[in-house]
Amino acid sequence: MTAPNPTQSAAAPRVNPLQRLWLRELGMERLWLRPAPRPAVASEPQAVVSKQDSPAMATPGGAPPAPVRDAAPAPAAVASPVAARPAGPGPGLRNGPPPKPAPKPEVAADAAPAPIPVAEAVKNANLDELREQVVACTACGLCSGRRHAVFGHGGQPTRWLVVGEAPGEQEDRQGQPFVGRSGQLLDSMLSAVGMSRERDVFIANVIKCRPPGNRNPKPEEIAACSPYLMRQIALLKPERILVLGRFAAQTLLGTDATIGSLRGRVHQMKTEEGREIPVIVSYHPAYLLRSPAEKARAWQDLKLAARQL
């Protein structure tokens, strides 16, 4: 038998395992045979890791695969839809068929849907359209536990816009703002300064869906929902805004200052069209129910709001 020319290896004939052993014994295997395919153990996890971390590594012409211990999925990959897929009868690590190309479309199919861009959607909505958007909203997790999204309610033209935090249990049941015990107190506070929710006041909340167990709204929920309130302000064009409680005050005024430091003076809020609206901060009625001694201060706030500014 003549020794094979190494340049012919690309066209080398198939050999069976026995022939391969013999060739290895003779020290001719590397001359005769094409390189054996890489074992799956080195390439399969690499595809998962590289999809997450380094696209170049996933390409056939990319950098050589890392050693097996380095190819173990990083924590991020473990959490990814690809890594989390149940292990099926797919390629075994040692003896299975050669690895298949990475299944790219599955990543897109399993990925979470893109969040609804609320800020974009509300831009040109009128009040009825905005209400429909709120009722159908899925921009944060609160939509999964709600009975009703609470858009807000009140008279137009709007003299005062009253802004609370979020619906409670009763509001979630009825789909209307401030209809529980806090709402009864709010109604008497408003009527003490000659205002009525049917005639002069529109009542809304920063958050349109009830947080479970009335917990505090999370920053991401406030961020997801506040474009609705901003659009309500732009459409209702209230003469002034009475803000009840820390969350509403901080959201509308864009501050993390305490309510104690924000109340007792008139703030200005600039709308998208550049109009300035006076904003008065007061305690939330739920807080006043728990701390009736603070009602005197809330009364001062109402008088400030009712003053001709």
Q: What is the smallest separation between the CB atom of 203 and ligand URA, expressed in angstroms?
A: 7
> How many other CB atoms are there within 10 angstroms of residue 114's CB atom?
6
DSSP notation for 132-162: HHHHT--SSGGGGG-S-----EE-SS-SEEE
Q: What is the smallest separation between the CB atom of 286 and ligand URA, expressed in angstroms?
A: 6
Residue 65 or 177: which CB sits closer to ligand URA? 177
Residue 166 or 252: which CB sits closer to ligand URA? 166
Q: What is the smallest separation between the CB atom of 87 and ligand URA, expressed in angstroms?
A: 48
Residue 51 or 210: which CB sits closer to ligand URA? 210
CB 172 within 8 A of CB 146: yes
Q: What is the smallest separation between the CB atom of 269 and ligand URA, expressed in angstroms?
A: 19
Class of residue 100 by CB neighbours under 10 A (exposed 0-12, middle 13-18, buried 19+): exposed
Residue 166 or 306: which CB sits closer to ligand URA? 166
Residue 20 or 153: which CB sits closer to ligand URA? 153
Q: What is the smallest separation between the CB atom of 205 and ligand URA, expressed in angstroms?
A: 5
Residue 189 or 286: which CB sits closer to ligand URA? 286
Please state the φ and ψ torsions of residue 186, each to the nearest 5 degrees.
-60, -45
Q: What is the smallest separation between the CB atom of 191 and ligand URA, expressed in angstroms?
A: 18
Maximum Cα interatomic distance, the chain, rounded to a whole number of Å: 112
Report which DSSP code applies to 273.
T
Q: Residues in the site for ligand URA, rule: CB under 6 A?
A: 164-168, 171, 177-178, 182, 205, 286
Residue nearest to ligand URA (CB): 164
Q: Which two tokens stand for residue 83?
A: 């890594």
Angle at 6 between CA 4 and CA 11, to 5 degrees: 80
**152 conformational bin, left if phi > 0, alpha if psi -120 to 50, beta if neither:** left
In angstroms, rounded to a whole number, what is the distance separating the alpha carbons of residues 139 and 143?
8
Helix crossing, 246-253 with 219-236: angle to 10°? 70
Residue 73 or 164: which CB sits closer to ligand URA? 164
> How many other CB atoms are there within 10 angstroms of residue 43's CB atom?
18
Q: What is the smallest separation between the CB atom of 210 and ligand URA, expressed in angstroms?
A: 9
Q: What is the smallest separation between the CB atom of 168 and ligand URA, expressed in angstroms?
A: 4
Half-sphere exposure of 149 (CA within 13 A, CB side): 21
Residue 171 or 221: which CB sits closer to ligand URA? 171
CB 206 within 8 A of CB 223: no
